A and B are shown apart, each in its own frame.
Chain A
Amino acid sequence: MTHTNNAADEAVQDISPGWLREGLVAAAPIALGYFPLGMAMGVLGQKAGLSAGMVALMSLLVYAGSAQFIAVAMLGTGAGPGAIILTTFVVNFRHLLMSFALSVPLRGARRGFLSLFSYGITDETFAVNMTRFRQDGWDRRRALVVNEGSHLAWVGATTCGAWAGAFIPAGAFGIDYALVAMFLCLLVFQLQGRLYVLTALATAILSVVLYLFVPGNAYVVLASVGGATIGFLLQKRKNRTRRVS
């Protein structure tokens, strides 16, 4: 991938048609997975004493699955706002790494755009967009539609859950597996050679071990940084031996 002709890229991107439809199509699997998850979150929110409007507001302002689950659970046990905000920060800190990685394909974008775009960075939108950016025909506007469309689905699903209860019974249609299947598929798409397979395996082992021994969800960031570093060092060593021989 070259980053030399960004200005030209942008000009081409701006007139590429079909961005709204293609962005929404790319967001569809995310929305499907958000539905059971969001409804469950809404139901828990309602049980913790929140109205549908309050749940919608949280989903609009925070937009983070696991952090919202934890927040409503803490609200239910009478935790103070300071503790809830601190926990939210810790749980969502992993997005820092995703934002960092997105700075490569989004290089040269305007700061206003970046500020809007970063609002919608989640595990799911990150995974979909990073995979798409590797392929031809993906651009900033389509990526932004993925973020905004997914956010809208999240707000809709959580509000529905708080307002009407979960009208999709738990486990129905295997819908609880939607996000896992999506992550598995995007993982396969990322495996573009031996180096990537080795990185994935190293990270998987690290992640499981850290998950068992480190409380909270620090395992995501620690395992990702560790696994990517192992892959990076392997590649460097291979390049060096190749140069020597």
Chain B
Amino acid sequence: MSLVDYLLLVAGMGAVTYIPRWLPLFALAQRRLPQGLVDWLRLIPVAILSALVAPALLTDSATRTLSFGKPEFWVAIPTLFFAWRSRSLAGTVIFGMFLFWLAGKF
């Protein structure tokens, strides 16, 4: 692949990534959204976080099958508890990493 081909490739990848990131914000941030839509959007962050993290804890990504009892899952339980009690993002990240590292020792 020549350098020009590569430049075109990453420019194309950049454009198709940027447009979905940009369009809703650019088009909607200037106007007042209906209250129903705002109420729905308020639930989107918790939904996205849950959607991102649940398969990482409960499935095997290589085979894409259910996998109960992964270290990721067991470590998640005390990590969630720690986050709830401490309300500290940095503390929770360090705590989770430490437990995951510990889980790897066994």
B13 touches A84 (CB 8 A): yes
Q: Does A73 contact B (CB under 8 A)?
A: no
**Min CB gap A20→B, angstroms:** 18
Q: How far is the CB of A30 from chain B (nearest CB, A)?
A: 10
Is the pair A211, B89 in contact by a Cβ cutoff of 8 Å? no
The digit string for A220-242, where 1 denotes a CB below 8 A from any CB of B, is: 10011101110110010000000
Give the residue name and chain of the A residue nearest to B49 (CB): A187
Q: Is the CB of A235 within 8 A of B89?
A: no
Q: CB < 8 Å: which of B28, B83, B92, B100 contacts A103?
A: B28
Annotate B1-35 by CB proximity to A: 1 below 8 A, 0 otherwise: 10001111111111011101111111011101100
Residues on A with C-beta less than 8 A from B39 are 232, 235
Q: Which A residues lie within 8 Å of B72 (CB)?
A: 177, 180
Q: Tell me which residues across on chain A come within 8 A of B100, comparing CB atoms.
A: 174, 176-177, 181
Distance from A93 Cβ to chain B, minimum over Cβ atoms (Å): 5
Least CB distance from A45 to B in Å reads 11
- Cα separation A58 to B98 with both chains bound (whole Å): 32
Considering the chains assembled together, what is the distance between the CA atoms of A62 and B9 in angstroms? 10
Contact B83 A184 (CB under 8 A): yes
- Cβ contact within 8 Å between A183 and B97: no
Q: Which residues of A contact B49 (CB under 8 A)?
A: 127, 183, 186-187, 190, 200
Minimum CB–CB distance for A1 against chain B, Å: 9
Contact with B along A72-114 (1 / 0, CB 8 A): 0001000001001110110011111111111110111101001
Q: Cα distance A229–B98 when bound, in Å?
A: 36
Residues of chain A within 8 A of B79, CB atoms compared: 181, 184-185
Q: Which residues does chain B contribute within 8 Å of A89, judged by CB atoms?
A: 16-17, 20
Judged by a CB distance under 8 angstroms, whether A71 is at the interface is yes
Please judge, given known A-B contacts A100-B24, A101-B41, whether A181 and B17 are in contact too, CB under 8 Å.
no
Q: Are B55 and A211 in contact (CB-based, < 8 A)?
A: yes
Q: Which of A28, A119, A172, A182 contacts B18 (CB 8 A)?
A: A119
- Which chain B positions have C-beta within 8 A of A159? none
CA distance A210 to B1 in the complex (A): 36
Cα separation A50 to B1 with both chains bound (whole Å): 10
Q: A85-B9, A184-B96 are in contact. List 16 more A-B contacts (CB 8 A).
A: A92-B21, A96-B20, A115-B22, A115-B26, A119-B21, A173-B97, A174-B96, A177-B97, A181-B100, A187-B53, A188-B83, A207-B55, A208-B59, A212-B65, A227-B50, A232-B40
> Could you tell me which B residues sit within 8 Å of A by CB distance?
1, 5-14, 16-18, 20-26, 28-30, 32-33, 36, 38-59, 64-66, 72, 75-76, 79-80, 83-84, 87-90, 92-93, 95-102, 104
Q: List 21 contacting pairs A-B, 8 Å CB cutoff, sorted by A.
A: A62-B14, A67-B13, A81-B5, A81-B12, A88-B16, A96-B21, A96-B23, A99-B25, A100-B44, A123-B52, A173-B97, A173-B101, A174-B102, A178-B93, A180-B96, A182-B93, A203-B47, A207-B50, A224-B47, A232-B36, A232-B43
